[in-house]
Structure 1
Amino acid sequence: MKFETSLTKGTLIKRYKRFLADIKLDTGEIITAHCTNSGTMKSCIEEGADVFLSPAKDPNRKTRFTWEMIEINGNWVGINTMNPNRFALEEIMKGTIPGLEGYSTVQREVKYKDSRFDIMAENSVETCFIEVKNVTLNENGVAKFPDAVTARGLKHLKTLMDVKENGMRAVMLYIIQRMDVYHFEPARDIDPDYARKLVEVHKKGVEIIPLQVKVTPEEIVSHKILHYILEPEIAENV
């Protein structure tokens, strides 16, 4: 997935009110950028770190830029929560995500009962509902989700289990926007209910794909599928 326009470089002054960040551009100008990430952004906030921003498409928007990524320990971490959905849609359409190839029809934002899933993919054999989550949390080299309690995420897991029970394919696709992690786990200490439900739905057939991507100021590209550990001492390979 290539960025549509050239990004603007700066350094982070501070993030506040969840959706705002003050940035000092390389020109010296200080601006306020929009932050799409409503989570805690634990492990991807470092004041004074280099960042890249994209210009707002709407010239009348109050914030002229959207915060795209931050450099942490020499690695770019993608923090724009909109990008994983766009990336997943493009790559599933191209058939480049391992395990999600071979779909002839791919749609975004498809309603199922009282939920709306990010992607529905179909071919002559099956229908697959895919929920995409953005992962930025790094704890000692482990990618974890979520970084805050997520009632919405818990609801999606329950509905994915219903999808599976009704004979369709159900997939949790975690897009891990950083390269300094080596496997994936649910954040049991942050949201134990989500972690327990993920274990439960997986045992009932909901698939888990933790896809690590490499983020650069030019593009986001697939790197590899990480293995995952849903319960302590139990490793799953995908």
Structure 2
Amino acid sequence: MIFPNKLVHGRLIKRYKRFLADVELDNGEIVVAHTSNSGSMKSCLEEGAEVYLTFVDDPKRKTRYTWEMIRINKSWVGINTVVPNLLVYEAIKNQEIGALRGYSFVKREVKFGDSRFDVFASNEDEECFIEVKNVSMKVGEYARFPDAVTTRGKKHLNTLMQVKKEGKRAVMVYVIQRSDVEKFAPAYDIDPDYAATLKEACEKGVEVYPIRAIVRPERIELGELLPFELE
């Protein structure tokens, strides 16, 4: 995903009310940026750190900027939770994810039961429902998810198990928007119910793919699959 316009550079003052952040731009102006990440953003918040924003030229919108990434430990961490969905959708359409190649039809935002999944793909032989989650939390060498209790995330896992039970392909993709991690694991200490449900889903045939993204101010793209541990 290439950013269509040059991002705006600044430094984080503070994040507050979950969806807002104050940022000081290079010219000294202080602006309010929208933060799409509703989690705690644990391990990727540092006051004074470099950030990049997208300027949104929409007079109807209350905030004219969207927060895209922050520089932590000398590397960029993507925090826009909309980006992973688009990355995975485009990658499946372009046959760029080895395990998810061969689909002639790909669509975003498709319902199954009482859940709405991020991507649906199909061909003459099968249907595949794919849920995508943004991962930004780092603990040691691990990328961990979630960074806050997520009943919605657990619901998606339960519905993916139902998808599999009905003979369709069920896939969980974790897009890790940081390069300073080597493995993926659920955050047992933060949401033990989610961790247990993920383990159960994997045992029942739901496929799990943690993919590390390469985050840069010019573009964000999917990189390599990371090993994961569910125990």
- Common topology (TM > 0.5): yes
Q: State the secondary structure of the residue aligned to 1:224.
A: strand
Once the two structures are TM-superposed, the CA of residue 36 in structure 1 deviates from its matched residue by 0.5
Residue 211 of structure 2 aligns with which residue?
211
- Percent of paired sites with the same residue: 59
Structure 1 partner of 2:10: 10
The CA deviation string for residues 39-66 of structure 1, in whole angstroms up to 9 with x for no partner, is 0000000000000000114233111100
The AA in structure 1 aligned to 2:193 is: D
CA distance in 2: counterparts of 1:123 and 1:27, whole angstroms: 52
Whether the aligned pair in 1 keeps the contact of 2:87 and 2:222 (CA below 8 Å) is no
C-alpha displacement at 1:113, in angstroms?
1.1
Per the alignment, residue 105 of structure 2 pairs with: 105
Q: Partners of 2:196 and 2:22 in 1: how far apart?
A: 37
| CA deviation profile, 1:57-82 (whole Å, cap 9, x unmatched) | 42331111000000001100000000
Amino acid in structure 2 at the alignment position of 1:93: K
Counterparts of 1:19 and 1:203, CA distance in 2? 35
The Cα offsets for residues 90-114 of structure 1, whole Å up to 9 and x where unpaired, read as 1110010121111100001001111
Deviations 1:96-138 (A, max 9, x none): 0121111100001001111111110001111100000000000
Provide the residue aligned with 1:89 in structure 2.
89
Cα deviation per residue 1:205-234 (whole Å; 9 max; x = unaligned)?
000000000110111112200000000xxx
| Cα contact 2:34–2:65 (8 A) shared by 1 | yes
Give the C-alpha shift of residue 4 in structure 1.
2.1
Q: Which residue of 2 aligns with 1:27?
A: 27
Tell me what 1:130 maps to. Answer: 130
Q: Which runs of 4+ in 1 moved over 2 A?
A: none
Residue-pair matches, total: 231
The corresponding residue for 1:183 is: 183
Native 8 Å contact 2:23 2:33 kept in 1: yes
Q: 1:41-190 alignment to 2 at 5 Å?
A: 41-190=41-190
Q: Which residue number corresponds to residue 229 of structure 2?
A: 229
**CA distance in structure 2 between the partners assigned to 1:202 and 1:219 by the alignment:** 32
TM-score by length of structure 2 reads 0.99
Structure 1, unpaired ranges of 5+:
232-238
Structure 1 distance, partners of 2:57, 2:90, is: 20
The alignment's TM-score, normalised by the length of structure 1, stands at: 0.96
**Counterpart residue identity of residue 52, structure 1:** Y
Report the secondary structure of 2:108's partner residue. Answer: strand
